[in-house]
Structure 1
Amino acid sequence: MYVGQILQADAANGLGIRVSIFVSGCTNQCKGCFQPQTWDFEYGRPYDEEMEEWIMKELGKGYYNGLTILGGEPFEPSNQREVVKLIRRVNKELPQLNIWMYTGFTYDKDLVEGGCRHIEVTDEILDRIDVLVDGRFVEELKNIQLKFRGSSNQRIIDMKKTRETGTLVLSELNK
């Protein structure tokens, strides 16, 4: 996995102050994407142990509310296998932090068993994160007044409640 950018003290990609990691590689390639350079699976720097240590040290500073993983596309299969390792570590070492993920895929179609992006670690990722913002960016539905998403078709999903109940539960942030 490659990482195109890491933002410190980010307040645009989730509630509170966050570390946001933009992974590289995306097959969706949405028209009007704000980060088309991240479509390339080798854009940026390779994700390695040194980068992970830096992320964990930064997250441990005490003023962060959480971690956001976006892209590119975190749910590309090659990215999921690395992303899950970071999520496990954050859950274990910094359990007070919440984790948001963004995907151009649709939770209840593409990320469920039998879906086009469901692999052996997908369910673990979905069980461990707090919020999933799903859906392709659709330029014709772009709305800059929406919180934490770019187009009106995208949803902010409360993953804890969704996984507990077995039915999709939208976050109150959708309003």
Structure 2
Amino acid sequence: MNYADIRPIDVANGPGVRVSLFVSGCTHHCEGCFNPETWDFHYGKPFGPEQEEEILSALSRPYIHGLSLLGGEPMEPENQPAILRLVRRVRERFPDKDIWCYSGYLFPRLAAGEVGQHSREILELLDVLVDGPFVLAQKNLSIRFRGSDNQRLIDVPASLAAGEIVLWDKIE
């Protein structure tokens, strides 16, 4: 997997101060995408153990609330092995920090394991999934943590337990 950027301090992509990883590679090609350069799976630099350590080190700061995964598309099948390895390590080392993932894929497909070999396993390690492609015609700059009205903030553990989508609606 390649990555476009690691932001050790980010306040735009989830609640609190976060660490954000922008991966490369996306097949959705949403009109109006704010990161079209990340559609290319070869864009950026290779992601490996050094970058994992950089993220884990940044997450160790007490004021960091959690990790956000963006893109590109973190749930592309080609990106899933590296994403799975990273989120496992984050969960093991920082069980009290949350993990958010932004994906153009819809929750039901990810939960059913229809998107790559590891989509369900990754989903089970997340706290919040922002699902759905960005839709330019539904762009809305007034909604929290997403870009278009069709995108949902999904409480992943509650949704998996309930067997239906439970929206995340915390005020933080």
Same fold (TM over 0.5): yes
Post-superposition offset of 1:68: 0.3
Choose the corresponding residue for 2:145, options 143, 148, 152: 148
Q: What is the identity percentage for the equivalent residue pairs of Structure 1 and Structure 2?
A: 47
**Secondary structure, counterpart of 2:95 in structure 1:** coil
Confirm whether residue 157 of structure 1 aligns to residue 154 of structure 2: yes
Confirm whether residue 35 of structure 1 aligns to residue 31 of structure 2: no
Residues 137 and 66 of structure 1, relative CA distance in 2, 3 Å threshold: same
Q: Distance in 2 between matches of 1:173 and 1:149?
A: 15
**Secondary structure, counterpart of 2:61 in structure 1:** coil
- Contact 2:113–2:119, Cα closer than 8 Å, also in 1: no
Q: Distance in 2 between matches of 1:161 and 1:168?
A: 8
Q: Distance in 1 between matches of 2:121 and 2:166?
A: 18
Moved over 4 A (4+): none
Q: TM-score, normalized by length of structure 2?
A: 0.95
1:38-95 CA-to-partner distances (Å, cap 9, x unmatched) read 0000111100111111111111111100000010001100101110000000000111
**Secondary structure, counterpart of 1:78 in structure 2:** coil
Alignment of 1:128-143 (within 5 A): 128-143=125-140
1:136-172 CA-to-partner distances (Å, cap 9, x unmatched) read 1000100100100000000000001011111110111
Report the equivalent of 2:80.
Answer: 80
**Secondary structure, counterpart of 1:169 in structure 2:** coil
- Contact 1:143–1:151, Cα closer than 8 Å, also in 2: yes
Structure 2: 5+ residue stretches without partners? none
Report the equivalent of 2:111.
Answer: 112
- Quote the RMSD (CA, aligned, Å): 1.3
Post-superposition offset of 1:96: 1.2
Aligned residues between the structures: 171
Post-superposition offset of 1:120: 2.7
**Secondary structure, counterpart of 1:124 in structure 2:** helix
Report the equivalent of 1:70.
Answer: 70
Q: TM-score, normalized by length of structure 1?
A: 0.94
Residues 25 and 78 of structure 1, relative CA distance in 2, 3 Å threshold: same
Q: Distance in 2 between matches of 1:68 and 1:51?
A: 15
